[in-house]
Amino acid sequence: MSAVGMPPHMLALFAARPPLEHLKPVQKRKMPPISGAAEFVEKFTDNDEPPARPPFETPKQRQARRKKEKAAQHAEELKQLIEEYDPNGDDSAAGDPFRTLFVSRISYGADSKTIRKEFEKFGPIKKVRMVKDLDGKFRGYCFIEFESERDMKNAYKHADGTKIDGRRVCVDVERGRTVEGWLPRRLG
């Protein structure tokens, strides 16, 4: 392709550049001489073992270790709670345990009057104890002490599954003071 017929402003774009300026070569610097490693060998012959590296722990191993530690801590706490558990020393559990009925899964809106009304059809009730936590909230279960053991057995047989405030309740005998070696669910 020839440059003939192109306008001057276009020809200026294709003009050759000036030649590069010639520079003298860089003078080589004198570097310090390289010595061998032989002079350092005697420093490594002490037979001292290097310090052991701490073992690397992957995230899965760390998670498993923490889970194991937590389980061991929980088992220790549980063991201590089991040693401290004494149902006969509980001041709030007064009365005859063989005439006491345990009722669970009670509606949290229920009160002792409702419970008493539902269970008085099985016999006269001496006391209804609604179990509450430290904040005073109802825990969802109670203990009912009947006047006679026969009435308690009758309620045990027939009251299981009764609806109170829209919830079916579970009924059982009091096992804490009557069955030797029995532990509540929270203690395993």
Write out the DSSP string of the chain.
Answer: ---TT--HHHHGGGPPPPPPPP-PPPPPPPPPPPP-SHHHHGGG-S-PPPPPPPPP--HHHHHHHHHHHHHHHHHHHHHHHHHH--GGG-TT--S-GGGEEEEES--TT--HHHHHHHHGGGS-EEEEEEEE-TTS-EEEEEEEEESSHHHHHHHHHH-TT-EETTEE-EEEE--TTTSTT---GGG-
CATH of domain 91-178: 3.30.70.330
Contact status, residue 123 vs residue 154, Cβ threshold 8 Å: yes
The pLDDT of residue 164 is: 92
Structure confidence at residue 63 (pLDDT): 98
The domain locations on the chain are 91-178
Buried b (16+ CB within 10 A) or exposed e, 87-96: beeeeebeeb
Give the separation between CA 150 and CA 135, rounded to whole angstroms.
36
pTM of this structure: 0.63
- What integer pLDDT is reported at residue 61 of this predicted model? 95
pLDDT for residue 89: 79
What pLDDT does residue 45 have?
67
The pLDDT value given to residue 2: 61
pLDDT in tens, the chain (188 residues): 566 788 889 888 888 899 999 999 988 888 888 888 888 877 776 666 777 888 899 999 999 999 999 999 999 999 999 998 888 877 777 788 999 999 999 999 999 999 999 999 999 999 999 999 989 899 999 999 999 999 999 999 999 999 999 999 999 999 988 888 888 888 87
* The pLDDT value given to residue 3: 66
Euclidean distance between CA atoms 95 and 92, whole angstroms? 9
